[in-house]
Amino acid sequence: MGFCRTKQGRRSSKNPRRSRESRRTMRKSFLREMFSNKRVLVVDMTHGGRTLARAIEEYFDAEVLRYDLYGVDKGCEIPEFDICISPVHSPVLNPILTGDPRVISHHSAVGYILRRLKEQVGCDIIEVTGTKGKTSVATMLTHILSSKMQVLSSTSEGVMYASPGGTAVLKVPGSITPAHALDVMDMAMCKDLAVDVALFEVSLGFTGAAKLNVLTSLEGDYRIAGGMLKASQAKRYMMKNLSGRVVDKGVFDRLKTSFFGERHKKNINLAATAALHLGIAEDEIRRCVLSFPQIRSRMEVKRGGNWIVIDDANSAFDAFNLRAGIEEIMAVDGERIVILGGSRKGSCSSLDIEAVVRVIDVYRDRVRFYLTGEIGEDLRRLGVDCPIIEGDPDGMVGWVMASSSGNKGVILITGSSGGRSG
């Protein structure tokens, strides 16, 4: 989809309707000083490079070259350029490592464009990043803010438009590449949406365009850029020279929630604290937190009673999350069972399968493990002697319960569901 050129500026008390020609002129001028009459090389067509290249071509005069890092250009010679836009995870022309001032990150380029687009949409921007908890915090924060505001929210789950009048899903699935924010803002203009806040879950750091930046966690770190950097280093690098406020810890005590266990309490506290900084009253925050529905596949209780079934199969799966999920179910009486597996693909962080084996070894005397999918097959090849089961989640749960010697307990479904993490 190309960028919207047929809609006029959206109606808002912050931003009166502009003429189409006015918007077109503004789009062509607001980045001219940075990119115009330049040879711009955009690296990585897999993680947002296509969107970014298209935006540069649309907004101003520049010769745009595309380098498909993981595709047809892998290993090919780098063309000459005036400016290079490369992701922080790239092993080629990495903006953190190269030392070349002509090389900037995807985050920085997107942030530069977003600062202007938010003026056209007439909204504030909030960004959420971190190794763990991004989707949960962004989803919770959207729920709280939408009680009083019109919120355009983009997470790994999809793009939503939420307001006091209700919630509409605009796109599924979602993306958390920095460049996806450009598509979402263009969606707001094309659909003529009134937006108070645009909230973006972003992988590997902030763009610099946000009024409020929420850092969820640096736990569960992993290697990027061909092993030359850690994800936490990229996030810290992208925190330099931020103009917006950074929230990285909660200030609330004893927030009542309907969530299972302790794992989400930090995320809820962080979302509530961010909402407080954005002007939502404390009583309203507490009301919203108490009414918050479960987050799909994030320690989601699928079934209660004698057998509690919890779904934690999502793209953020790793040894850290496996251990945290197991610790949560240890408080439940009865048998403790983990169905572990899923797809190998779909995460910014490559899964450390040997670390998963070590977690299984720690708990296998207290927890019964079943393996499934590609990850289950990998674990068996590494010597994990646990039964392999197949089927849909409901079928596997039914089989495990029927095979159990007891009549109560907890079943944790965990592993990778595809999608993207970061």
Mean pLDDT over the full length of the chain: 87
Rounded to an integer, the average pLDDT of 351-373 is 94
Question: Of 154, 119, 150, 120, which Cα lies nearest the Cα of 135?
Answer: 154
Q: Say which range, 27-31, 50-54, 262-266, 281-285, has the weakest mean pLDDT.
A: 27-31
Token duo for residue 28: 């062509």
Question: Which tokens is 268 given?
Answer: 């809820």
Alpha-carbon separation of residue 277 from 205, 239, 246, 273, 351 (angstroms)? 20, 19, 10, 6, 35
In this predicted model, what pLDDT tens digit does every residue of 270-288 receive, in sequence order? Answer: 999 999 999 999 999 999 9
* Token pair listed for 36: 């115009």
pLDDT of the residue at 11: 38
Residue boundaries of the structural domains of the chain: 20-105, 111-290, 300-416
What DSSP line would sit under 315-375, residue for residue?
TT-SHHHHHHHHHHHTTSSSEEEEEEEE-S-S-SSPP-HHHHHHHHHHHTTTSEEEEEHHH
> Measuring CA to CA, how many Å separate 385 from each of 77, 317, 406?
47, 21, 22
Asked whether the beta carbons of 10 and 194 are under 8 A apart, the reply is yes
* pLDDT at position 10 over 50: no
Give the Å distances, CA to CA, from 84 to 52, 98, 108, 248.
Answer: 12, 11, 11, 31
Mean pLDDT of 75-85: 91
3-state secondary structure 64-132: EEEECCCCCCCCCCCCCCCEEEECCCCCCCCCCCCCCCCEEEHHHHHHHHHHHHHHHHCCEEEEEECCC
CA distance linking residue 136 with residue 133, whole number of Å: 5
- Burial (Cβ within 10 Å: 0-12, 13-18, ≥19) of residue 402: exposed
Least confident interval from 92-106, 313-327, 341-355? 341-355
Query: pTM, whole model, 2 decimals?
Result: 0.84
Q: Report whether 335 contacts 407 (CB < 8 A).
A: no
Write out the E strands in 183-334.
Answer: 197-201, 212-215, 223-224, 229-230, 245-247, 300-303, 307-313
Confidence of residue 30 (pLDDT cuts 50, 70, 90): very low
Residue 48 has φ and ψ, to the nearest 5°, of: 100, -5
Closest CA to 420 of 201, 106, 171: 201
The number of residues making up the chain comes to: 422
Radius of gyration of the chain (CA): 23
What is the 8-class DSSP label of residue 225?
G
175-194 pLDDT, tens per residue? 999 999 999 999 999 999 99
Topology at the third CATH level for domain 111-290: UDP-N-acetylmuramoyl-L-alanine:D-glutamate ligase (3.40.1190)
Domain 300-416 CATH superfamily: Mur ligase, C-terminal domain (3.90.190.20)
Q: Which residue has the higher pLDDT, 59 or 378?
A: 378
Structure tokens at 241: 């020279």
- Does 419 or 300 have the greater pLDDT score? 300
The answer to whether residue 22 scores a pLDDT higher than 70 is: no
β-pairing, 307-313 vs 409-416, is parallel
Sheet holding 39-43, edge to edge: 63-67, 39-43, 83-86, 103-105
User: What is the arithmetic mean of pLDDT over 3-21?
Assistant: 43
In 3D space, the residue among 284, 304, 382, 306 whose CA is nearest the CA of residue 340 turns out to be: 382
Q: How far apart are CA 93 and CA 99, in angstroms?
A: 9
Contacts of 31 (CB under 8 A, 6+ apart): 56, 59, 60, 112, 113, 116
In which band, very low, low, confident or very high, does the pLDDT at 32 lie, cut at 50, 70 and 90?
low
Q: pLDDT band at 102, cuts 50/70/90?
A: very high
Indicate the residue type of 209. A
Lowest-confidence pick of 264-268, 367-371, 387-391, 398-402: 264-268
What the block records as the tokens of 405 is 């010697």
Q: What is the pLDDT of residues 317-337, one digit of tens each?
A: 899 999 999 999 998 889 999
